[in-house]
Amino acid sequence: MSEPLASLQRDDRGVYTLMLNQPRAFNALSSAMLAQLQTAVDTVKSDDSARVLVIASTGKAFCAGHDLKEMRAHPEHDWYKQLFDQCTRFMMSLRALEVPVIARVHALATAAGCQLVAQCDLAVAADAASFGVNGIDVGLFCSTPSVALSRNMQPKQAMEMLLTGGFISAQEARERGLVNRVVPVESLDETVAQLVDQIVAKPREAIAMGKVLFYRQLETGMGSAYQLAGHTMACNMMADVAQEGVQAFIDKRPPAWRQT
């Protein structure tokens, strides 16, 4: 049997790694790849002990976007709409996860692959990685990638990439807000592991509540955002993890979150 297009592994802490594994196709988001990615994310969602999801890949590219050969073979509006709806469902399911999602970007991320980076909560890139939304080079404006991209960087910066198809370096991606950290490729795993360790050391319940609030408030006005945030903080403060954390601060000791 051929290897799966994507694989999912879990460690004993609840840290999942979702690996895109179609290097010959530069990990393109074919309909089959998207189906396997969706199944993996649904598995993480169903695990109440999950803590973090890391998305990584093999080969010379992180992800080259949609599979253009597959798209060209199906010149029907309904087929295209179904594909983009499938991709949107996968992207939105990352946002809906209660746990943080980290992109581990070792190489090229283009079009929907760049969208995938933008959709993750955090991103760590190798210094040799590059990013682009270059669908315009084949006459296709990267409309769906623009949704995530414009929520990571300033509109004019995103629009320049979308209009020209030009690529930016990992350092430029960090400066524009697309990735959090840029490191030599040999330090990529260590840097991702450090982020994971910092997250896992914090209470899952508080992180889950905070992630939901963070994205909800971005899509609303400031007054409503503060109302949502105040409600979330009040609920969070009632949780055992916060009560223990505050008491530990008062007692000048480390919080015993695992015991609460």
In the chain, where the domains are located: 6-200, 204-259
Coil vs helix vs strand at 11: coil
Coil vs helix vs strand at 86: helix
Which segments within the chain are labelled E, that is strand? 6-10, 15-20, 52-57, 61-63, 101-105, 108-110, 122-126, 130-132, 168-169, 181-183
Phi, psi of 104 (to 5 degrees): -105, 100
pLDDT at 259: 40
pLDDT at 108: 98
110 pLDDT higher than 60: yes
239 pLDDT higher than 90: no
Q: Which residues lie below 8 Å from residue 79, measured CB to CB, with a gap of 6+? A: none
CATH fold label, 204-259: Lyase 2-enoyl-coa Hydratase; Chain  A, domain 2 (1.10.12)
pLDDT at 102: 98
What average pLDDT does range 111-128 have in this prediction? 97
- Which alpha helices (DSSP H) does 134-221 contain, by range? 143-149, 155-164, 170-176, 188-200, 204-218
Q: Which residues lie below 8 Å from residue 156, measured CB to CB, with a gap of 6+? A: none
| Entry pTM | 0.91
260 pLDDT higher than 50: no
pLDDT tens track for 49-83:
999 999 999 999 999 999 989 988 998 888 999 99
- Residue 193's alpha-carbon distances to 53, 73, 189, 220, in angstroms, are 12, 41, 6, 33
1 pLDDT higher than 60: no
pLDDT at 244: 85
- Label residue 89 by pLDDT band (50, 70, 90): very high
pLDDT tens track for 15-44:
999 999 999 999 999 999 999 999 999 999
The token pair that represents 209 in the structure block: 């509540």
Q: What share of the chain has pLDDT > 90, as a percent?
A: 77
- Give the burial class of 249: count Cβ atoms within 10 A of its Cβ; 0-12 exposed, 13-18 middle, 19 or more buried: exposed
- Residue 235 or residue 118, greater confidence: 118
pLDDT tens track for 167-215:
999 999 999 999 999 999 999 999 999 999 999 999 999 999 999 999 9
pLDDT at 121: 98
- Residue 45 or residue 3, greater confidence: 45
pLDDT at 257: 78
Q: Are 6 and 42 in contact (CB under 8 A)?
A: no
Cα separation of 240 and 62, whole Å?
40
Query: How does the average pLDDT of the chain come out, rounded?
Result: 93
- CA dihedral (21, 27, 31, 37) in degrees, to 10, reads 50
Cα separation of 219 and 231, whole Å?
16
- Label residue 250 by pLDDT band (50, 70, 90): confident
CA 259 to chain centre: 30
Strand 101-105: give its sheet, edge to edge.
6-10, 15-20, 52-57, 101-105, 122-126, 181-183
- Residue 169's alpha-carbon distances to 41, 161, 178, in angstroms, are 29, 12, 11
CATH of domain 6-200: 3.90.226.10
